[in-house]
Structure 1
């Protein structure tokens, strides 16, 4: 177990009057143990307790034999795994359970421990993971460096007129060649009118002259995620398309300039949104300005009008305003930012000025 991270979790549990917790989210277990375990439909749970009686409940199917700094409690497919967990749970004290534990396991534990109090303990781990340590920052920088290289290669491929779907397939090879561990999310490659759908699924469309091309991609390196979006134009861009692009670019820059300790996430969202609204395209900016990122591409927390939390050093999140005109053009520009003591570090370095690909 990562003792420094565990100590922080235990301290926050104590502050929240929570003496025991079950962690089932594989990403959270990786955060604490350094080991990925993907259980599928089988039960996986890390039990942590202020008294130090920590246990990792794991199916014998998974060959996790190295020392993870926590005692392993094994079970097999014919045993009642939750009943085994129940032997260690203190019925007299509230039990924290993370939000991802399947109901079939939670309901069984509630049945076995009738009268026990169960609470959502996810926020404790979510908040801890939101603040990146020095090693995590370096991992995120490297993942973003590789992603910058990948988006450059993708843009250079546009004149070859591959379909959106084929571009996504090529991206997998690019990531492999760069030494990445795979996709952090399914890539979004969108030409022309398709680019007006923020979450367009790549299809067999072929780029046409004058169309915008949205490339929204991310890779994983050292188990940490990257995410970047660049929009370019093939052969030429109409005056309206250029106008939309420059408005989104300015919104992106204004939001980034707002990022520093002490501001609220909603203030960053407003910096982008208010400018787009002032320019007359407010109703075409249909999503939040950004999301947190780390071990998962969508970590806890976002950059939205509803998030009044204060920005603090160590947080990493995206800034990705967009304008989507149905049937015409879509533009999104996304960078990841790391909050520093006096501002932010932009993790993506690839150029974002208006680009026409010949």
Structure 2
């Protein structure tokens, strides 16, 4: 199934190249290379032409590439991609697109020098996004499994959240349990933030111990066979104030509204606006400062944006987060997040765990 999907993806890429009169494309983004070929190594470059494709890596990944790559010819190079490019052995026409998203200026200028005089180099940005945003069923299966793993880990964490534990203890347990249950790795460094630190949307876990009566934001995700999960729940250690409960109910209502409102044909900005207006209408127009969500796939943050800048039209089988929050600096914060798959009838959350406030 994966090979059939990758061949279809490569065919779509070639169609776009032909439509833009591109003879070849040099791919430098490892996540795009893995999406197209299945190669999961940490060192690779790729050339796609209308007739043939090559994946370039080094000796460390010779055996791995032979197992993972079937839609391109693998080249094991001792001298590096620059030397291969300069050799002239790879014929790929006049106009060459250079993927500029994740390449350094230093590498880009080197590659352009190698091609100078033989090819016209055209930098391209977000060239593959339109294909990666819409997920195939085989991709959705892996994303569902990634979500299941993280939910199992989260459920197992709850008894560990005690006054004797620290934020770092829980973050370490998340990473350990993700791998123990079959994930490749975390999809991002876990966020575990309690008390006043929960008002920082991207707080790094600290050595602080959990205190009774405080809210705790736990944002976590894992990677399963290349695909990411992302989820956030806010819990309480013991009973919290009525104000904290009020804020929690607003965020819970906003998140439910976001899921219920997501429809094919609307833009990310329109969906963000519905939820943003709901939170503002409850008296917190400045306390929700980040976007409502983001695409998830091979990367935990990718297109489409669900934010005031989200101009893309949402389509069936797009996968993105819905994660409103309210943050009161120096006091506490609340965020609730699910990753959803957009279908013809609306959004289906990948996460099933309760969103009622849990007072541990």
Fold similarity call, TM over 0.5: yes
Question: What's 1:310 paired with?
Answer: 313
Say whether residues 1:134 and 2:137 are aligned partners.
Answer: yes
Question: What's 1:157 paired with?
Answer: 160
- Give CA deviations for 1:75-119 in whole Å, capped at 9, x if unaligned: 21xx36314214236563242324112322221122233364433
Asked whether the equivalents of residues 268 and 304 of structure 2 are also in contact (C-alpha less than 8 Å), the reply is: no
Question: What's 1:85 paired with?
Answer: 85
- Give CA deviations for 1:303-344 in whole Å, capped at 9, x if unaligned: 101112110011000000111101111100000000112212
Give the Cα–Cα distance (whole angstroms) in 2 for the partners of residues 173 and 61 of structure 1. 26
Give the Cα–Cα distance (whole angstroms) in 2 for the partners of residues 307 and 279 of structure 1. 24
> Which blocks of at least 5 consecutive residues in structure 1 are unaligned?
none
- Give CA deviations for 1:164-200 in whole Å, capped at 9, x if unaligned: 0011111223223322222111000011001001010
Question: What's 2:52 paired with?
Answer: 53
Question: What's 1:71 paired with?
Answer: 73
Say whether residues 1:258 and 2:261 are aligned partners.
Answer: yes
Dislocated runs of 4+, deviation >6 Å: none
Asked whether the equivalents of residues 97 and 118 of structure 1 are also in contact (C-alpha less than 8 Å), the reply is: no
Taking only aligned residues, the RMSD between alpha carbons, in angstroms, comes to: 1.8
Question: What's 2:31 paired with?
Answer: 27
Seen in structure 2, the aligned counterparts of structure 1 residues 146 and 74 have a Cα distance that, compared at 3 Å, is closer
Give the Cα–Cα distance (whole angstroms) in 1 for the partners of residues 174 and 116 of structure 2. 51
Aligned counterpart for 2:105 among listed residues 103, 106, 125: 103
Give the Cα–Cα distance (whole angstroms) in 2 for the partners of residues 241 and 356 of structure 1. 12
Aligned counterpart for 2:228 among listed residues 202, 225, 229: 225
Give the Cα–Cα distance (whole angstroms) in 2 for the partners of residues 215 and 106 of structure 1. 39
Question: What's 2:270 paired with?
Answer: 267
Give the Cα–Cα distance (whole angstroms) in 1 for the partners of residues 100 and 7 of structure 2. 20
How far 1:214 sits from its partner (Å)?
0.5
- Give CA deviations for 1:133-192 in whole Å, capped at 9, x if unaligned: 010111111111121122122223213631000111112232233222221110000110
Give the Cα–Cα distance (whole angstroms) in 2 for the partners of residues 148 and 112 of structure 1. 48
Seen in structure 2, the aligned counterparts of structure 1 residues 123 and 162 have a Cα distance that, compared at 3 Å, is same
Compute the TM-score of the two structures, normalised by the length of structure 1: 0.92
Say whether residues 1:118 and 2:117 are aligned partners.
Answer: no
Give the Cα–Cα distance (whole angstroms) in 2 for the partners of residues 165 and 33 of structure 1. 36
Larger displacement relative to structure 2 (305-314 or 17-26): 17-26
Compute the TM-score of the two structures, normalised by the length of structure 2: 0.92
Asked whether the equivalents of residues 85 and 115 of structure 2 are also in contact (C-alpha less than 8 Å), the reply is: no
Seen in structure 2, the aligned counterparts of structure 1 residues 81 and 173 have a Cα distance that, compared at 3 Å, is closer
Say whether residues 1:216 and 2:219 are aligned partners.
Answer: yes
Asked whether the equivalents of residues 245 and 331 of structure 1 are also in contact (C-alpha less than 8 Å), the reply is: yes
Question: What's 1:144 paired with?
Answer: 147
Larger displacement relative to structure 2 (113-122 or 237-246): 113-122
SS of aligned partner of 2:333: strand
Question: What's 1:338 paired with?
Answer: 341
Question: What's 1:10 paired with?
Answer: 14
Question: What's 1:62 paired with?
Answer: 61
SS of aligned partner of 1:123: coil
- Give CA deviations for 1:235-281 in whole Å, capped at 9, x if unaligned: 11111111111111111111111111111111111121111111111
- Tell me how many residue pairs correspond in the alignment: 350
Counterparts in 2 of 1:30-45, with a 5 A limit?
30-39=34-43, 44-45=44-45
